């Protein structure tokens, strides 16, 4: 039960995103917290899937790995509309693998600190 409360607090950090541009920025900021070399991040392509109550942002990107080699990756963020009409980040996947709870919470915490 404690973990659920922590997740809800973490999700609340990202509340307030309304437009696709803001949601894309939050997704990219989250991705950069996970990269070995965030300064080398370059957006290659983006896809935004929308419906009335949710958004999925998928970005293809290039960035250097820990050895300095340029790699292509995929990152997805899932958002859900809350009761106030804002979108909350509810999950993320790096290279088609959903982040576990500690990775997700770390990413959200890093985004909050960077604001």
Position 47 pLDDT exceeds 60: yes
As separate numbers, helices (DSSP H) first and strands (DSSP E) second, the chain gives 3, 5
- Tens of pLDDT, residue by residue over 82-102, are 999 888 899 999 999 999 999
What is the pTM for the complete model shown?
0.79
Residues composing the chain: 115
List all residues 6 or more positions away from 65 whose beta carbon is below 8 Å from its beta carbon.
Answer: 36, 37, 71
């Amino acid at each position: 039960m404690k973990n659920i409360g922590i997740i809800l607090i973490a999700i609340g950090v990202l509340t307030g995103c309304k437009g696709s541009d803001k949601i894309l920025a939050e997704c990219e900021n989250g991705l950069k917290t996970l990269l070995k070399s965030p300064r080398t991040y370059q957006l290659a392509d983006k896809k935004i899937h929308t419906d009335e109550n949710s958004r999925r942002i998928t970005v293809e990107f290039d960035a250097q790995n820990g050895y300095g080699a340029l790699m292509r990756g995929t990152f997805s963020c899932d958002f859900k509309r809350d009761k106030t009409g804002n979108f909350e980040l509810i999950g993320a996947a790096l290279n088609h693998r959903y982040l576990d709870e500690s990775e997700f919470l770390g990413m959200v915490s890093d985004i909050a600190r960077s604001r």
